[in-house]
Amino acid sequence: EIVLTQSPGTLSLSPGEGATLSCRASQSVGSSYLGWYQQKPGQAPRLLIYGASRRATGIPDRFSGSGSGTDFTLTISRLEPEDLAVYYCQHYANSPWTFGQGTKVEIK
């Protein structure tokens, strides 16, 4: 089983600032078989990124992903109050698909 470890646990930033979220895999996730999800309070998750760097339909270009192998990053430029959420990485390289434990983004 591939274990995904996200850091930091919590980010507290002001509107307009940039956020960098990390996701590290216990083994390679192959050809960047990794996605990112956003879960706002009281809501279901939403797909942001697939293939490590490809934005899903309707996702603003403030969200970008990068990385390969075992190290991945989600960058949120120009934070907006609506970006308050928990962000999860998830791999689909093999079964079981696993999620990271999440990074909570707080807006000051």
Partner 1 sequence: EVQLVESGGGLVQPGGSLRLSCAASGFTFSNYWMSWVRQAPGKGLEWVANINQDGSEIYYLDSVKGRFTISRDNAKNSLFLQMNSLRAEDTAMYYCARIWNYGAGHYGMDVWGQGTTVTVSS
Binding site for partner 1 (CB under 8 A): 1, 30-31, 33, 35, 37, 39, 44-47, 50-51, 54, 56-57, 86, 88, 90, 92, 95-102
Contacts of 90 (CB under 8 A, 6+ apart): 4, 34, 35, 36, 37, 97, 98, 99, 100
C-beta of 44 vs 81, nearer to partner 1: 44
Classify strands 19-25 and 71-76 as parallel, antiparallel or unpaired: antiparallel
Minimum CB separation of residue 7 from partner 1 in Å reads: 14
C-beta of 30 vs 69, nearer to partner 1: 30
